[in-house]
């Protein structure tokens, strides 16, 4: 299992981005969470197999209909704890 910490910039708050991330993650069988950052970004911590994580990242780059994703930064990390589901925080 791998873990990505993802930072998504652009018009990503107030457009359903976290719920979109949750739907996509659950559909792919991934776990973790999505939360709004104070500076307007959305932060996503996600765990799963690398190939599936990469598919998820590709979907985040597009985002929901009302979003305008400008940048997606990814940090691959060693998981410290395992998440049992994907939640919106």
71 noted as active-site residue: no
Contact indicator for 25, 46 with CB cutoff of 8 Å? yes
**Side-chain-facing half-sphere of 64: CA atoms under 13 Å:** 16
36 noted as active-site residue: yes
The residue from 36, 59, 77, 89 that is catalytic is 36
Exposure string of 6-34, with b = 16+ CB inside 10 Å and e = fewer, is bbbbbebbebbbbebbbebbeebebbbbb
The residue from 11, 18, 23, 70 that is catalytic is 18
Active site residues: 18, 36
């Amino acid at each position: 299992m791998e873990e990505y910490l993802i930072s998504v910039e652009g018009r990503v708050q107030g457009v359903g981005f976290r719920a979109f991330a949750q739907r996509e993650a659950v559909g792919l069988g991934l776990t973790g969470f999505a939360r709004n950052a104070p500076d307007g970004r959305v932060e996503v911590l996600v765990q799963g197999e690398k190939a599936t994580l990469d598919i998820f990242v590709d979907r985040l780059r597009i985002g929901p209909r009302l979003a305008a994703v400008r940048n997606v930064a990814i940090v691959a990390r060693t998981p410290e704890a395992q998440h049992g589901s994907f939640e919106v925080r």
